[in-house]
Chains A and B, each alone.
Chain A
Amino acid sequence: MATTLTNTNSVSDSVEQAFAQRAPRSLWSDARRRLLRNKAAVAALLYISFLIVVAIIAPLLALHNPLDIFQNNSYRQAAWITVPNRPEASGSWAFPLGTDAIGRDVWSRLVYGTRTSLVVGFVPMVFTLFLGTVIGLVSGFFGGAVDAFLMRFAEIVYSFPAFLFFIIVMTALKDTPIGKFWNGFVILFGALSLVGWVGVARLVRGQVLSLKEKEFIEAARAIGVRQHNILFKHLLPNSLGPIIISGAFIVPGAIIAEAVLSYLGIGLRPATDRNALFPVSWGNMILDGKAAITAQPWLMIAPAISIASITLAFTFIGDGLRDALDPREAN
């Protein structure tokens, strides 16, 4: 414990020295510098970039088209597994991770699934965090009637059965231009964000309620700092911790929710075109794998590892961001 203590002290000392010695740089360039110095965050960023590359060059990495069905090849095991007496189920390097229920290559589906899952993991996270943060900030900062109204509204949204809402949205919008827009991505993002923001908003509000009574906010007010400056320069950066954690947790949730919603016909339309950009997602694979957990375990394991790794990457980036944006931690 003693080391931690001295570390902290020396860190802040060096901050003071740093500020004393060099010309002030902007908050953001400082943050970027600090982020790039965090090895875990850099590794995570590299991993995400790698996934983006995989997503783009998926046709080169995939051995087959992800929609191609190989007759008589259902539930083939991963390449290194041999099943005694059942050559038709034993692994083959033509299908490195085996095949799914109707004989499609798991490896190729995994590679193509990167596309959908990156988009589906990232975009709703941004939407959800944005909505939740704004509402939480406003609610906590203004308090009183604004807070009461927004939070009661949040309670209503949180309580009514979202599934019913999705079913109706699907029935009503499926064949309209909105529903078909971007292969159904728009509806999907809307659905995922609408459900997710309440938790974030309440977290941010809680932070703001506590922060705005702290000395430094009172001091800022006393010296006449404008409201929006207090909101965005003081309250927001200091509420980032919970926001970032929520962000990292929204990613796997959204990837799985996408699959559940897609199966119900909400959001992504199942692809039938061999040239489709988003033919499959990891979430789809997980749900397919659920039925085959004994019959072909890699159908489940492969996407599960992928989702876990992407979650881990976002966690590291989040940790790095939080540290980088914290003006008290400079080194």
Chain B
Amino acid sequence: MLQFIIRRLLWAIPVLFFVALVSFFLMHQAPGGPFDKDNNKKQVDGATLASLNRRFGLDKPQYINPAAASRLWASGERNPLTLGRAYLDSQFFNYVFNAMRGDLGPSYRQRGKNVQDIIFKQWPYSMRLGLLAMIFAVITGIPLGVIAALRQNSIVDYISLFFATIGVSVPTFVIGLLVIIFFGTTLKWISITNNDWNTWRPYLAPSLVLGLSTMSFITRITRSTVLEVKRQDYIRTARAKGLSERMVIVRHILRNAMIPVVTVLGPALVDLITGAVITESIFSIPGVGKFFVDAIFQRDYSMIMGSTLIYATLVVMANILVDLSYGLLDPRIRSQG
């Protein structure tokens, strides 16, 4: 198992490198730059733009810098390390080298701040929201799915289908707004403005809103696989052996039905904790979702790179955990991955 983890962590290096390269390529291909203003605003003057580009290293070549290397060569430098560094004195490699040291670069919008400062300051809010949403989705989704499958076509089955349909087809901004109008204005159970997001209580309503669609997917997937497993021969064997119904469900059905659920849970958790922009916006939660989305439209280059790399790292980790859990759920799969 240790070998498996090490192998997968080594794999993460090329994955992250390519994610960085692809994102870097994409964002520089997209028209416009980080200092562009809205259409009705005065744009930054040419001299100022040149100065800003110098300040943030955007005047360097994008991928390789042969000019700098040959200049060094001409000046008599023969140390291959120094020459190589000069050759790679480009926007991309400078970013990669800095990122390896933990420096994700300056944000172009929040002038003076570094991307890692912003992310680590604002992320806890998104993390709390996402974790609560996930807990809600799991503790309601899995039991609902299991019951719906065991009592197929019962009222529980239809209720779960009802929530699943709502959760997936009514957009989050509608549900969020309805929650605010109903619980905020009509019942006055929650406050709209008077929330301290450093405490847990205000997260209750938004996490339900956010978790709803994940919950419905988990419910449906659980129901489907439990139905599948329920019909397998070994379940009948287990029943025939006289195992109690609860044992059959927990030991055999759940265990075997959990593989698709776990597969979904991994990336879903990453999506939930990396900032749900709509939920955060409706409930005014100061999380990272908005930064990550706005960064793309504002061409805040280092914020795009930083958020993408962090997201990719989490996806890689989540998938390692998912693949590990396959082995735990079904010992025969252990060799895989």
**Which A residues are within 8 Å of any B CB, using their own CB?**
1, 4-5, 8-9, 143, 147-148, 151-152, 155-156, 158-161, 163-165, 167-168, 171, 199, 202-203, 205-207, 209-210, 213, 238, 241-242, 244-245, 248-249, 252-253, 256, 286, 290, 293, 300, 304, 307-308, 311-312, 315, 322, 326, 328-329
The reply to whether the CB of B245 lies closer than 8 angstroms to some CB of chain A is yes
Q: Do B30 and A311 have beta carbons less than 8 Å apart?
A: no
- Interface SS, A side: helix
Nearest B residue to A323 via CB reads: B227
CA–CA, A17 to B26, complex, Å? 61
Given B11, B150, B260, which contacts A203 in the complex, CB threshold below 8 Å? B260
Known: A156-B19, A160-B26, A167-B30. Contact between A210 and B312, CB under 8 A? Answer: no
B333 touching A210, Cβ below 8 Å: yes
Is A164 within 8 A of B150, CB to CB? no
B146 at the binding interface (Cβ < 8 Å): no
Q: Contacting B168 at CB < 8 Å: which of A171, A244, A311, A322?
A: A311
* Shortest Cβ gap from A99 to chain B (Å): 20
Partner of A8, one of B11, B164, B230: B230
Q: Which residue of A lies closest to B228 (CB)?
A: A241
Contact B169 A160 (CB under 8 A): no
Q: Are B150 and A1 in contact (CB under 8 A)?
A: yes
The answer, among B15, B31, B224, B263, for a CB contact under 8 Å with A202, is: B263
Q: A4-B150, A8-B236, A148-B337 are in contact. Are A249 and B260 (CB under 8 A)?
A: no
User: CB within 8 A of B171: which of A168, A209, A238, A286?
Assistant: A286
Which residues of the partner chain B approach A209 to less than 8 Å between Cβ atoms?
259, 326, 333, 336
Instruction: Please report the C-alpha to C-alpha distance between residue A201 and residue B263 in the assembled complex, in whole angstroms.
Output: 10
Nearest chain B CB to A147's CB is how many angstroms away? 7
* B-chain residues with CB within 8 Å of residue A171 when the two chains form the complex: 30-31
> How many angstroms between the C-alpha atoms of A8 and B236 in the bound complex?
9
Determine the distance from Cα of A308 to Cα of B224 in the docked complex, in whole angstroms: 20
- Nearest B residue to A238 via CB reads B228
Kindly list chain B residues whose C-beta atoms are within 8 Å of the C-beta of A8. 230-231, 236
* Interface assignment of B225: CB less than 8 Å from any CB of chain A: yes
Which bracket fits the contact residues of B?
35 or more
CB distance from A229 to the nearest CB of B (A): 21
Question: Do the beta carbons of B312 and A164 come within 8 Å of each other?
Answer: no
Query: A152 CA to B17 CA in the complex, in Å?
Result: 12
Is B239 part of the contact surface with A, judged by Cβ < 8 Å?
Answer: yes
Contacts of A249 in B (CB 8 A): 168, 217, 220
Residues of A with C-beta under 8 A to B337: 147-148
**Which residues of A sit under 8 angstroms from B262, Cβ to Cβ?**
206
Q: How far is the CB of A199 from chain B (nearest CB, A)?
A: 7
Which residues of the other chain, B, contact A210 by a CB distance below 8 angstroms?
256, 259, 326, 329-330, 332-333
- A4: B residues at CB distance < 8 A: 150-152
Across the interface, B164 reaches (CB within 8 A) one of A168, A213, A253, A315, namely A315
Residue B22 CB within 8 A of the other chain: yes
Contact of A168 among B29, B224, B304, B308 (CB under 8 A): B29
In the assembled complex, the CB of A9 is this many whole angstroms from the nearest CB of chain B, namely 8
